[in-house]
A and B are shown apart, each in its own frame.
Chain A
Amino acid sequence: MTHASETGGATTRRGQTHFVAPVDETPLQAVDALNTDVKPRSLWSQAWRDLRRNPMFIISAVLIAVVVAVAALPQLFSDLDPYAPGACQLSNSYGDPSPGHPFGFDQQGCDVYSRVIYGARPSVIVGVVTTLGVFLLGGLIGALAGWFGGWIDAILSRVTDVFFAIPLILAAIVVGQLFALNALTLAMILVLFGWTAIARIARGSVMSVMNSEFITASKALGASSSQNLFRHVVPNAVAPVIVTAMVNLGMYIVLEATLSFLGVGLPESTISWGADISNAQTGLYTRPELLFYPSGALAITILSFIMLGDAVRDALDPKTKKR
């Protein structure tokens, strides 16, 4: 139904008469009414909802759950304890897989399967502890530099640059000589030299949030500097820092394996995938599959942590979010 009214004869041409749509076709809505039907959602709960729908997250979460369970309670997954005295019998050297020994034996006559299971713990400890430490230390330094600016920023940024210039692996080798290393001390050393990238990201993130109008509004309300920093700036600036830290987690596991492979990481008494990869080299021509087991476990662990980091980034990065 169209009702057109002819007006101003000469100026109206075909297709340009005064047209008015019937009102019932597009009923008027109240101006700017609030839709009260949908459930309220915070940014974090929305990110969580996005995560749960991401198949990459589900796969990586299941894998990580398995890896963490193995690291925490290896005895549930293997009847043999490779740390027990007499676990390795030279008579079993390069023995074939047999019942109870699915992956066979290595050169020393140790059961490979139980070593792969027990090797998960140091990797997971180094990865998780380093990530947490780097997140806290780097996040704190970066946030302070970004928030205070001026000479505090200048000093902290130069310190960051100095640490940035030290190659992480070299520093870990040199400083590692000074201590009796275990998974925790190695993680501490990695934190000490690995926080710089996080600090830079945290600084930038804090600076971009600081200029928001809600910070000015909060200042005008009389909120103090520290109230502002911890109540408004940190919650808004934390997402990119979390994402970077999670993506880096895999890298720290690789670092631990690299150091152990080189023989400068965890002591030989500790079972570690890196050391086992190194040991398997000697039999590379006769028993190449021995190299495969520890490196396969390492690869799956790292891949699942990196996938988790990616999934978290997709959920937290507002730029990829469609509304």
Chain B
Amino acid sequence: MSYDPNFPHASSEYAEEPTTEPTDPRDEDSAEEAQERLSQVHATAGGTSGAVHGWDPDRPLLEVTDLDITFTTSGGEVPAVRGANLTVYPGQTVAIVGESGSGKTTTAMSVAGLLASNGRVSGGSIVFQDEDVSKASGKRIRQLRGDEIGMVPQDPMSNLNPLWKIGFQIKESLTANKVAKGKAADKRVVELLEEAGLPDAARRAKQYPHEFSGGMRQRALIAMGLAARPSLLIADEPTSALDVTVQRQILDHLDVLTGQLGIAVLLITHDLGLAAERAQHLVVMYRGQVVESGPALEILQNPQHPYTQRLIAAAPSLSSQRMVSSLHNRDEEPAGGRQPARAGRTDDVIVAENLTRVFDIRGGAPWVKAAPFTAVDDVSFTLKRGTTLGIVGESGSGKSTVAQMVLGLLPPTSGRVLFEGQDIGEKSKQELFALRRLMQPVFQNPYGSIDPTYSIFRTIEEPLRLHGTRSRSEREIRVRELLDQVALPAATMQRYPNELSGGQRQRIAVARALALRPEVLVLDEAVSALDVLVQDQVLALLNDLQAELDLSYVFITHDLAVVRQIADRTMVMETGRVVEHGATEEVFRSPQQEYTRRLLDAIPGGSIPLAGSGR
């Protein structure tokens, strides 16, 4: 099964850097305000709202029947989609949910005639407004695209041409679809940007993509997708590259816009919670087939297919409590054996005291004074042995910088980190080397965190060799043991990272981190790039390992829902400061700060009751 490399790490590349991007004041708006502003726009613009498309609301706008899509590769014909059925009515939001490689994007792309050149519709039909687009000519599809079928792509960072002004790019879509030309088009661009929720649209239209934040870029792309007033909008993971709070605003806005304009939306997402919250009708895809489809709420509350059940059980946004390790139910001594007590073990494994880190942002010439940027500001916490501390925050909140300081990879500007009561900043090189055994990191990107030229055996044995396990047979025994702990067969040893899936690589990274029997793991977005089911599997594994080996975790993530599953205490960070810190259950039940509340509200699907009826 292939792994979609574009999916979450598209965002990860820029997610953790201290950002100096302009923040968008409108990103703070609520949906009601957006609605209000929108109606004003329509009043002034002469109004193109409501049923612009004279299509009978009870006749399907899009009807996909028994769709087969085949890709021709060097290894022969590969069926990507098999017998998919899907119906969209005018003005309705339909969501396709599935893991990467399930065929959800392929299905949606075939509707817009945008299959990759080696793919083709090999069976079934795609009827859009009584016309089979799978058999239409290239010219006809180009007419439909933009005009009747709009698109909002996944990654706002790569889907705008950095060389052209935003306004020019929207104007391009207007002229290409013959909606407006010249001066009229310029005026329409401003209206569209305003409609998409960008303040000061006339000025914004003259700016370049790099002057926009991620959320603003996605708004510009929405403006572009809606420019020609299509009757169907295909939104492919429109917000998965954005922070949760921004994600919520954008989706709210999209809801309002398409609702008012009577535009149907085909939403593609991996997030079941988000799909259930936004769509009336759900289509669940698995390995190229539709395994279940039906009214959103019904599917969520009464899933019939085992895959859907599995998906719902794994979705972090729908779960409401901390995972319980399977070991807690057993009385027997864990197989791995507890570590012998070392001298100097304390209950507070890590204590961070008033950590502050200031970066100098260099501007050009060496004589220009560097502007100080405070990435982490006065952060203190205590990690108790055998527990998990969740650090949550959006991109630029400084959470990864905290991780680097805790690991001793980055010296704090002020403040200190105590490991079992000893200041790691005052350690000598040898002492620090010894300390490395006890504290290990696991990183986010499953494609970057292990050396692609090393076999899995060499990857896992590296720490053993560095820390003086001399004999090869001894190392091999330990590698086997570690692979077993992360639930991978011993035969994995001879393999190379390029042969493993993202989840498997992440488990290898965990195995390497565990090789030296550490006491603390610092997990920096360790499950963020994984598919829901795989993520759930890795989380369960981490949880079991914690119980088995008495590990303490610092778990850093942007995803509050995941924190709830794994963390005992939660610390919420915003722009380098701690805004809230407490027991996870308390933080979730009664958040004290406005910011925490906003984050909690933004968890998609969090408000959907899994049992009972109605919202």
Q: Interface of A with B (CB < 8 Å)?
A: 7-8, 11-21, 23, 25-26, 28-29, 31-32, 34, 36, 38, 40-44, 46, 212-214, 216-223, 227, 232, 235-236, 322-323
Contact = CB atoms under 8 A, between A and B. Distances in A.
B452 A43 contact: yes
Contacts of B293: 16, 18-19
Contacts of A44: 453
Majority-rule SS of B interface residues = mixed
A46 B534 contact: no
B295 A32 contact: no
Interface stretch (B238-246, B484-492, B597-605): B484-492
Nearest to B307: A28
16 contacts: A13-B58, A13-B87, A15-B63, A16-B89, A16-B281, A18-B294, A31-B534, A32-B501, A40-B495, A213-B444, A217-B449, A217-B509, A220-B409, A221-B462, A222-B436, A322-B73
A323 B498 contact: yes
Nearest to B437: A222
A273 B63 CA distance: 71
Interface of B: 2, 58, 60, 63, 73-74, 85-87, 89, 280-281, 286-287, 289-295, 298-299, 304-307, 310, 407, 409, 432-433, 436-437, 439-441, 443-445, 448-455, 462-463, 466-467, 488-489, 491-492, 494-496, 498-501, 503-504, 509, 512-513, 516, 533-534, 536-537
Given A17-B294, A18-B298, A26-B307, A222 B452 contact: no
Contacts of B58: 13
Contact of A214 (B86, B436, B451): B451
Contacts of B280: 11
A20 B292 contact: yes
Given A13-B89, A28-B310, A40 B494 contact: yes
Contacts of B87: 13-16
B462 A34 contact: no
Closest 7 CB pairs of A and B: A15-B87, A18-B294, A222-B436, A20-B304, A213-B443, A213-B449, A40-B494
A19 B498 contact: no
Contact of B496 (A36, A41, A214): A41
B491 A36 contact: yes
A15 B60 contact: yes
Given A14-B87, A17-B294, A18-B294, A216 B498 contact: no
Contacts of B306: 23, 28
A287 B306 CA distance: 84
Contacts of B287: 26, 29
Contact of A219 (B291, B409, B491): B409
Contacts of A221: 436, 440, 462-463, 466-467, 516
B436 A220 contact: yes
Contacts of A21: 289-292, 305
Nearest to B3: A323
A8 B503 CA distance: 39
Nearest to B532: A31
Contacts of A12: 294-295
A15 B85 contact: yes
A44 B440 CA distance: 29
B74 A32 contact: no
Nearest to A35: B499
Nearest to B449: A213
B521 to A, nearest CB: 11
A219 B408 CA distance: 10
A19 to B, nearest CB: 5
Contacts of B494: 40
B466 to A, nearest CB: 6
B291 A20 contact: yes
Contacts of B444: 213
Contact of B441 (A19, A20, A29, A220): A220
Contacts of B509: 217
Contact of A235 (B437, B450, B453): B453
Nearest to A18: B294
Given A212-B448, A232-B451, 6 more contacts: A7-B298, A18-B304, A42-B455, A212-B451, A213-B448, A218-B462
Given A41-B499, A220-B436, A32 B533 contact: yes
Contact of B299 (A18, A34, A216): A18
B507 to A, nearest CB: 8
A285 to B, nearest CB: 54
Contacts, number: 155
A316 to B, nearest CB: 12
A216 B441 contact: yes
Contact of A42 (B86, B496, B537): B496
Nearest to A2: B85
A7 B300 CA distance: 14
B535 to A, nearest CB: 10
B409 A216 contact: yes
A16 B294 contact: yes
Contacts of A14: 60, 87
A26 B289 contact: yes
B2 A323 contact: yes
A214 B294 contact: no
Contacts of A42: 453, 455, 496
A149 to B, nearest CB: 14
A25 B500 CA distance: 26
Contacts of B445: 213
Nearest to A45: B496
A119 to B, nearest CB: 40
Contacts of A40: 455, 494-496, 499
Nearest to B2: A323
Given A8-B295, A19-B294, A32-B533, A322 B496 contact: no
A281 B5 CA distance: 58
Most B C-beta atoms less than 10 A away, residue of A13, A14, A31, A32: A32
Nearest to A214: B451
A26 B503 CA distance: 22
A31 B533 contact: yes
A43 B497 CA distance: 9
B453 A236 contact: yes
Contact of B448 (A8, A15, A26, A214): A214
Most A C-beta atoms less than 10 A away, residue of B291, B409, B450, B503: B291
Contacts of A28: 306-307, 310
Contacts of A219: 409
B286 A26 contact: yes
Contact of B433 (A7, A23, A213, A222): A222
Nearest to B464: A221
Contacts of A8: 295, 298
B405 to A, nearest CB: 13
B39 to A, nearest CB: 27
Contact of B85 (A11, A19, A29, A220): A19
Contacts of A227: 466
Contacts of B498: 41, 43, 46, 323
A322 B443 CA distance: 26
A270 B355 CA distance: 72
Contacts of A20: 291-292, 304-305
A222 B449 contact: no
Contacts of B453: 42-44, 232, 235-236
Nearest to B314: A31
Given A13-B58, A214-B448, A223-B466, A19 B533 contact: no
B443 A18 contact: no
Given A15-B87, A41-B496, A32 B448 contact: no
B307 A18 contact: no
Nearest to B509: A217
Nearest to B280: A11
Contact of B537 (A7, A23, A32, A217): A32
Contacts of B492: 34
B443 A216 contact: yes
Given A7-B295, A323-B498, A214 B305 contact: no
B407 A220 contact: yes
Contacts of B407: 220
